Amino acid sequence: MARFTRIAPLHSLVEQAGRSILDALYPLECVGCGGTGRVICDRCAADLPVLRPPFCRVCSAPGDFARCQACAESVREFDGIRAPFRYAGTIRQAILALKYGGIKAAAPQLGDLLANFVEANPLPGEIVAPVPMHAGRQRERGYNQAELLARRVARHCNLQYEEKLLFRTRQVQPQAGIGSAAERAVNVAGSIGVSASEQVAGAGVILVDDVATTGSTLETCAAALKQAGAASVWGLTLAVVGGEELSE
């Protein structure tokens, strides 16, 4: 199992040089105001929809309750989900740009926002792993956005990164096209496997994804990890969806 190692300085210089050339040829535009330079400019970053209480103390769903209905009615497989933002406004647009718009260059800034949140609000766990994407879908998209975010978090927070800890056992329908929480849960049930159970046994795992809506995908991943012997599993996402909304 490949473990996270720090990128060599030469590699960093090459990466930065390549990014500078691309930025010069195709400058990034702020998804909030259209200004050039970054996916989220400093002015728009100051107005991001920070997730503030009240919200569910388990899954962080926004709402005036200690536990949302889903978390009150059943014991969740994950220990909790944490996120810095509500899924709205500029952060929503940035996530969509990364997820569906092919703007891979959004990942470093979004990953840094997530890493900064973890540094200020540490989660139990020493292993960081992304929610996996089916190989066919990843080939179509060109990357798994959860991997890009998770790698950034692990690097900045000095945590062990395990990119292939989880894998898809089958392709599922995109969750964005499914309406209810119950249907989403059925769609992803049993679709996740663990590649190295011996590595998980007794460990705390932090699962990274872009958005938490009903928590079905994170719960399926957590169930597989708990079955493999994980001591704890926490979900970490950029944003959580609240109320009647469903993520794209």
pLDDT, tens digit (0-9, with 9 covering 90-100), for 187-197: 555 578 899 88
pLDDT for 3 equals 35
Backbone phi and psi for residue 110, each to the nearest 5 degrees, phi listed first = -65, -40
Q: Where are the alpha helices (DSSP H) in 78-125?
A: 89-99, 107-120
Number of domains in the chain: 1
Angle at 63 between CA 58 and CA 64, to 5 degrees: 100
Task: Using the predicted structure, report yes or no on whether residue 175 has a pLDDT greater than 70.
Answer: no
Question: Could you give the CA distance from residue 221 to residue 204 in angstroms, rounded to a whole number?
Answer: 13
Q: Element (H or E) spanning 150, and its range?
A: helix 145-157
Does residue 16 lie within any of the structural domains? no
Does residue 45 lie within any of the structural domains? no
Neighbour tally for 234: CB within 10 Å = 19
Task: Using the predicted structure, report yes or no on whether residue 66 has a pLDDT greater than 60.
Answer: yes
Residue type, 44: C
Does residue 220 lie within any of the structural domains? yes
pLDDT for 6 equals 32
Task: Using the predicted structure, report yes or no on whether residue 141 has a pLDDT greater than 50.
Answer: yes
Does residue 206 lie within any of the structural domains? yes
Does residue 233 lie within any of the structural domains? yes
Task: Using the predicted structure, report yes or no on whether residue 12 has a pLDDT greater than 50.
Answer: no
Q: Which residue has the higher pLDDT, 241 or 1?
A: 241
Neighbour tally for 208: CB within 10 Å = 28
Does residue 208 lie within any of the structural domains? yes
Per residue in 18-57, pLDDT (tens digit) is 544 555 556 789 999 999 889 999 999 999 999 999 999 9
Does residue 134 lie within any of the structural domains? yes
Task: Using the predicted structure, report yes or no on whether residue 176 has a pLDDT greater than 90.
Answer: no
Per residue in 101-117, pLDDT (tens digit) is 999 999 999 999 999 99
Is the dihedral angle over the CA atoms 228, 81, 85, 189 positive or is it negative? Answer: positive
Neighbour tally for 136: CB within 10 Å = 10
What is the average pLDDT across 53-73? Answer: 94
Domain at 206, CATH number: 3.40.50.2020
pLDDT for 170 equals 59
Does residue 27 lie within any of the structural domains? no
Full domain range(s) for residue 90 = 50-240
